[in-house]
Amino acid sequence: MIQSASDRRAELRREITAYARRLTATSGLQGFTVEDLCEHAGISRRTFFNYFPGKEQAVIGEYGDGVDPAAVDAFLDGRADGIKGISPNLLEDLLTLAAAHFAVIGLTPAEAGAFFAAAHREPKLVEQLMRRGEEHHHYMTMLVGTREGLVSEHPVAHMAVTLCDAIVQSGVRQFLSPDNTHTLPEIFQTRLDAAKQIFAAALPN
């Protein structure tokens, strides 16, 4: 199979992150340099900074704004014409966007385990990941507002992202558990269906 340039980029990015996590778990963040990562990957310092803004971001595995542009476009185009009020498929589409994101960054139990091993040695990585999550939340709220025609920071846009995040986070935990046999989209759908049951009972008929 011939790899595309973006596949090769993604593979190298994951390779750098895997190595950075291994070094962090064994030696801590102070125990290695960007140069060590460059040498391992066979790239220059300059190329490294095309991949990650710094050493800690390489360990976390974050890059750019962490969202696939094509998936974002599909999300923004996903509101049917002529709809009044909130799109019926808003949460489905948010979960599809999240699943696309995880497909790009390549979320596997091995990769998650490597991150947790690094974070165990350097707990501040967890703090950083949470801050990163807040930025992502603002970005997503803005996307939902744009698509649904809501004023910025509208409570409904904020809540849609909050509900989606809750399903994603609990779903990812199930996905990464050793006995899981389902795909991430399947897991998200099961959870969304359970949420719909709860709200169906709560809403007046």
Local structure of 22: helix, strand or coil = helix
Q: Tell me how far apart the alpha carbons of residues 60 and 115 are, in angstroms, rounded to a whole number.
A: 7
Binders in 45-74 for a copy of itself, by CB under 8 A: none
| Nearest Cα to Cα of residue 58 among 84, 91, 86, 33 | 33
Could you say whether residue 123 binds a copy of itself (CB under 8 A)? yes
C-beta of 59 vs 119, nearer to a copy of itself: 119
d(CA 80, CA 77): 8
108 sits in the region (left: phi over 0; alpha: psi -120 to 50; else beta) called: beta
98 binds a copy of itself (CB under 8 A): no
Given 118, 143, 160, 184, the residue binding a copy of itself (CB under 8 A): 160
The window from 31-39, 48-56, 97-105, 126-134 that contacts a copy of itself (CB under 8 A) reads 126-134
Q: How far is the CB of 106 from a copy of itself (least distance, A)?
A: 24
Name which position in 15, 111, 165, 186 contacts a copy of itself (CB under 8 A): 165
